[in-house]
A = this chain, B = another copy of it.
Amino acid sequence: MDFAFDATTNRYRDRLLDFMDECVYPSEHAFHEQAAGSGWSPPPMLEDLKAEARSRGLWNLFLPPSDTRGEHGAGLTNLQYAPLAEIMGRSPGIAPPATNCAAPDTGNMEVLAEFGSEWQRKEYLEPLLAGEIRSAFAMTEPDVASSDATNIATSIRRDGGEYVINGRKWFITGAMNPNCKVFIVMGKTDPEAPKHRQQSMVLVPRDTPGLTVRRGMTVFGYDDADHGGHAEVVFEDVRVPVDNLIGEEGGGFAIAQARLGPGRIHHCMRLIGMAERAVELMCRRVLEREAFGKPLARQGVIQDWIAESRVRIEQLRLLVLKTAWLMDTVGNKGAHTEIQAIKIAGPATVEWILDKAIQAHGAGGISQDFPLAALWAGARSLRFADGPDEVHKRSLAYRELKKYMG
């Protein structure tokens, strides 16, 4: 047992910390100003940041070091990447896209690298790896409890050499961005098959007839336009060639599961970076503000918030790192309990910390003048992502109970 980062991790951390200090933090203000005038596209300056990150060797860091993929990414394990994702999470609207490590592209690239056919990889994976296009992952539906994947109602019906897709999806992150060129769509190819073999995933180019990106959903009032929003997307008799199937028919549920593990690690590590940012902002604020004749930093209740935040962050980070280590050593399946545990603990913990940081900022904390309220909305929305916490707790509890069943 050893809690120190290895040399590779430390090298990348140093490089990334420099990039944050030299390029990311100084751009934040201008980035948000540009974003305000860029509609649903990212601010133009993002391209400069991408070029800079790439030139520094900070590109596609998320890709695991398996044979077919090592050529593209940095070849880092989950355990090596996790602390980097944390650092990116300190400026979650800029650092991940600047380094081509932003969701949902990361998960989509992993899916294509692992399950995509040769032409799919050539057509979509390569420009994604190059940061030329963006992509979306169309899973959640407005009309059913998405907590239960077997509820999915979108149909993907085979008709000769084509699949015909009908359904309605929402909260499709990134899809409002016109440069989001392709959707990975989850739907049912065979409603009669066993519960977890009914679903398949197909690639649907943005300009396919019948696909309508209808509107952006808001998240506590935020449209998140700078990273392409969260779209409602309607599929009406959308037709794609059967070659657009990812993997095999009936394999959709398994692919979704495979995609979730790394996705949660990334989300949770970024959440920790957000929490660290919040603690820093809270500390700086309470040191400089006075009320009732002394700095807020000397109020016991605020000290309590700071201490609790530190205690909770330290625990959460270790669990995420251990989960990454398990995924590297025993695989996603062996890490199932831990992957669920961080999904449960991460958003709730970080939401709590952000709430306290907001409170320490007074009214400013809920406004556009500090990043806290927007970070909060992001953390809060993760309590639904990939199914609400309650579903994960249920499942985790069953696994615990099973240990004692006859």
A232 CB, min distance to chain B CBs, angstroms: 9
- Segment among A39-47, A98-106, A214-222 that sits at the interface with chain B: A214-222
Q: Contact flags (1/0) for A278-293 with B, using CB distance below 8 Å?
A: 0110011011011110
Given the known interface contacts A344-B311, A400-B310, the answer about A364 and B283 at a Cβ–Cβ threshold of 8 Å is: no
Which residues of the other chain, B, contact A362 by a CB distance below 8 angstroms? Answer: 145-147, 384, 388
**Smallest CB–CB gap between A145 and chain B, Å?**
4
Output the nearest chain B residue to A404 by Cβ-Cβ distance: B283
A119 within 8 A of partner (CB): no
- Majority secondary structure of chain A interface residues (helix, strand, loop or mixed): helix
Kindly state whether residue A123 has any CB partner on chain B within 8 Å. Answer: no
Scoring A3, A316, A322 by chain B CB atoms within 10 A of each residue's CB, the highest score goes to A3
Binds B, one of A109-117, A129-137, A155-163, A374-382: A374-382
With a cutoff of 8 Å between Cβ atoms, the chain B residues found around residue A59 in the complex are none
- Using Cβ atoms and an 8 Å threshold, which residues of chain B touch A226? none
The interface residues of chain B lying within 8 Å CB-to-CB of A218 are 221, 366-368, 373
Using Cβ atoms and an 8 Å threshold, which residues of chain B touch A359?
383-384, 388-390
How many interface residues does A have (CB within 8 Å)? 95
On whether A310 and B337 interact (CB within 8 A), knowing A221-B223, A401-B297, the answer reads: yes
The answer to whether A306 and B397 have CB atoms under 8 Å apart is yes
Contact partner, A363, options B171, B338, B390, Cβ 8 Å: B171
Q: Is A391 an interface residue (CB 8 A)?
A: yes
Complex: chain B residue closest to A341, CB-CB: B311
Known: A171-B363, A321-B1. A299 touches B373 (CB 8 A): no
The minimal Cβ–Cβ distance linking A363 to chain B, given in whole angstroms, is 5
Kindly provide the distance from the CB of A346 to the nearest chain B CB, expressed in whole angstroms.
10
A residues at B contact (CB < 8 Å): 1-6, 9, 79, 140, 142, 144-148, 151, 170-171, 217-223, 279-280, 283-284, 286-287, 289-292, 296-297, 299-304, 306-308, 310-312, 314-316, 318-319, 321-322, 325-326, 337-338, 341, 344-345, 359, 362-369, 373-374, 376-377, 380-381, 383-384, 388-394, 396-398, 400-401, 403-405
- The list of the 9 closest CB pairs from A to B, nearest first, reads A221-B221, A300-B300, A221-B222, A307-B393, A303-B397, A315-B315, A318-B318, A145-B291, A306-B397
